[in-house]
Structure 1
Amino acid sequence: MNSFDLSIETYLSNIHFGHFATLSIQAIDNLYTFKGLVLIPVLWWMWFQQDECHEWRREMVLATLVSGIVALLVGRLLTHWLPFRVRPVYDTELHLRFASGEIKDAVLTNWSSFPSDHAMLWMAVATGIFLMSRRVGVLALLYTALFICLPRAYLGFHYPTDLLVGAAVGIAITLIMTRDAIRVRYATPVLRWTERHPAPAATLAFILCLQLVTQFDELRKLASGVMKHL
């Protein structure tokens, strides 16, 4: 355990709010409403803006969604490839008491803490928003840091370095995927297809955004259940 992570987690574990405030922080962390259901609608709003840049903006929205999928996939792969790291709340050697209390989540227990897939996914999306609108993007980045990343450190689900590395990787993925030379190779053809086939495009967009909001959790559980019975 490095001193940076240990000092911050020790400090956060010693912060005690009232019962209602603690429940509020837990709700913010647990509910999809406070994650993707805040950021994904911003992308829809940007998609339907009509001005001289609307075609470029729609390509950027598509590129941002793809960046989010890539970030989530990379995050899940890294948790399997990198050495396993126990989450702070489950590390008995730390002797810290977190606001999350005694939780028994088999998924989190067996899921490496490093890096944070939450930070990776939603920082990737927030970065895409920032590239389209600096003013809205700054708010999106701040929201992601304060309402998605910070609660996970406070509740003991991640170390600060889990979140910082995840955020950095997510930002880097979006910066790469939205570059003109790369974006036009996939976003432009997809945009042309959506213009020719608006009905199936809207249907697929809804399904994709729903899965991003829930971080493909139900699909993962379904796949895990199938694999166990094979």
Structure 2
Amino acid sequence: MLAFDTAIQVWLVHVAASSVVFSYAVFAITEFYFTKGLVPLAILCAIWFHPGDAQQWRREIVVAILCAALVAFLLGRLFALTLPFRLRPLYDPAVHLLFPLADKTGVRMRLWSSFPSDHAALWMTIAVGIFLVWRWIGMLTIAQCAVFVCLPRVYLGLHYPSDVLGGAIIGAFCAWMFSRAPIRSRIAPIFVRFMEYRPAVGYMLAFLFFFELATMFDEPRYLATLVVKQLHGGSLR
């Protein structure tokens, strides 16, 4: 555990350790999809439908950011699987912290490496993407990602501060890279034209993709876990 992690984690855990209501509120924030990604995704919809001379550019940015978000999420999972395993602070006896509502969190993520945070990677990508189009709303979205996505996961011991920082850096980099003209111009116009010529199919698929983003691909990840267990001779229980 880095000194940077120690200082922030100790302060967060003790700042409201005596408030049960606060702890349950933070736990609810980590569980609710609305407080994580629904609002930023709704803002992307507003950007897409906003009229004006720059509508084509804005729509290309939306497509680029959605592609970047998927890549950032996959990179987070790839790094978690390939980098040295890092036990989450909630389960690490060396941390010497009593995290609030540890019994509610359970053991479902004990075998998942802590670094980096895929939540931070995904939602920081969306937030930075919004910032590239609408500065003030983007700044609020970045703050929302920090306060409602990153900090609660540190407070509950699901991640170290460096985990969410690493995820946020991945997300910000992916948003910047995919929004650059050389990459955006190769990918985004194809999707924009498809949405214009096949709106029924296009918006149906967009809705499904937004649903998976909002739920952090919970169902595909669950199915992948079942497949891996069966391939290794495990049971479904």
The alignment's TM-score, normalised by the length of structure 1, stands at: 0.96
Q: Render the CA deviation track for 1:40-83: whole Å, top value 9, x for unaligned.
A: 11101111111111111011111111111000000000000100
Deviation for aligned residue 1:19: 2.2
Q: What is the rounded CA distance, in whole Å, between the counterparts of 2:207 and 2:10 in structure 1?
A: 41
* Rounded Cα–Cα distance in structure 2 between residues aligned with 1:191 and 1:102: 47
Unaligned runs of 5+ in 1: none
Instruction: Please give the alpha-carbon distance, in whole angstroms, between the structure 2 residues aligned to 1:51 and 1:24.
Output: 40
Q: In the alignment, which residue of structure 2 is the partner of 1:2?
A: 2
Report what 1:113 is aligned to.
114
Number of the residue aligned with 1:53 = 54
Could you tell me the TM-score, scaled by structure 2's length? 0.93
Paired AA for residue 146 in structure 2: A
Residue 14 of structure 1 pairs with residue 3 of structure 2: no
Deviations 1:112-143 (A, max 9, x none): 11011111110011000000100110000011
1:26 maps to what in 2?
27
Aligned to 2:211: 210
Change (3 A) 1:13 1:110: same
Look up the equivalent residue of 2:162 and give its one-letter code: T
In structure 2, the residue matched to 1:165 is 166
Aligned partners of 1:3 and 1:181: how far apart in 2? Answer: 40
Identical counterparts, % of pairs: 43
Q: Where do residues 92-111 of structure 1 align in structure 2 (5 Å cutoff)?
A: 92-103=93-104, 105-111=106-112
1:51–1:90 distance in 2 versus 1, CA, 3 Å? same
CA-based RMSD of the aligned residues comes to 1.2
Q: Shift of the alpha carbon at 1:219?
A: 0.9
Report the Cα offset of residue 210 of structure 1: 0.3
User: 1:116 is aligned with what amino acid?
Assistant: S
Q: Which residue of 1 aligns with 2:235?
A: none
Give the letter aligned to residue 4 of structure 2. F
In the alignment, the residues of structure 1 paired with residue 106 and residue 68 of structure 2 have an alpha-carbon distance, to the nearest angstrom, of 29
Describe the superposition over 1:144-185 as per-residue Cα deviations: whole angstroms up to 9, x where unpaired.
011110111111111111111110111001100110111010
Q: Is the 8 A contact 2:24 2:101 kept in 1?
A: no
Alignment of 1:9-158 (within 5 A): 9-15=9-15, 16-103=17-104, 105-158=106-159
Shift of 1:20: 2.0
Q: CA deviation at 1:226?
A: 2.6
CA, structure 1 residues 191+179, in 2 after alignment: closer, same or farther (shift >3 Å)?
same
Contact map agreement 1:87 1:112 (CA 8 A) in 2: yes
* Match in the other structure for 2:234: none
1:100–1:156 CA contact under 8 A, matched in 2 = no
Distance 2:78 2:168 in 1: 16
